[in-house]
Structure 1
């Protein structure tokens, strides 16, 4: 059993959001990552696909999610289950905070550049 102290949470900033990792394989977890996303108002993430399922629960704010060409809208209290390997992009006019869980580590493919990366919040 592991206890991951709040002081050990790992913070990653991108141009569009801040991810705070609470648990991941590199932080005492095994095959699951848990992190918080805080997306600033008026921002949009890159168009990408993940190789694992993700479960997002929105704590505040709202987002529009393009999932394989379908637009899904989510708001405070909603939970979004994103299947693996489907193109996705999130955007938010008012910003949002969400908690996310997924198998880990996982890989993302940027669909604009073809680059494949392991997001640090899942490692």
Structure 2
């Protein structure tokens, strides 16, 4: 068993987003990646991206949208984005939004401009 303590979990930041790495191949899980996603108030991805695996978003707090034309989700809601569907995360509220995310390890992403992205550091 591998334990990832909250105080020791690696954190990665992009503008308006913090990723807290939980399970991943480098943290004891060969097949599954999970992380906590914290979105700043009003944060919205500028462009969509797709993944080659299904991704699950579970809302802990806040009001979010996960896909460009998706429904508003709140605490306790979950969304499964099927591989290949566009993802464009947005925090619709005035407070930080917190989600847990899960996906199969080894995924690859593609940005809207066609750029291929390998699994990021929080999922490696």
Give the TM-score category using the shorter length. Answer: 0.7 to 0.9
Taking structure 1 as reference, are residues 43 and 8 closer, same or farther at Cα in structure 2, changes over 3 Å only?
A: same
* 1:30-66 CA-partner distances (Å, limit 9, x unpaired): 1101110000011112410011111111010011233
User: For the aligned residues, what is the CA RMSD?
Assistant: 1.7
Deviation at 1:2, TM superposition (A): 2.5
- TM-score by structure 1 length? 0.87
Do structure 1's residue 50 and structure 2's residue 63 form an aligned pair? no
How far apart, CA to CA, are the structure 1 residues paired with 2:42 and 2:63? 11
Q: Partner of 2:26: helix, strand, or coil?
A: helix
Deviation at 1:114, TM superposition (A): 2.3
Looking at secondary structure, tell me which structure has more strand per residue: 1
Deviation at 1:121, TM superposition (A): 1.5
Q: Indicate the residue corresponding to 1:109 in structure 2.
A: 110
Structure 1, unaligned stretches of length 5 or more? Answer: none
Decide whether the 8 Å contact of 2:61 with 2:98 is kept in 1: yes
Taking structure 1 as reference, are residues 66 and 2 closer, same or farther at Cα in structure 2, changes over 3 Å only?
A: closer
- TM-score by structure 2 length? 0.86
Deviation at 1:7, TM superposition (A): 4.2
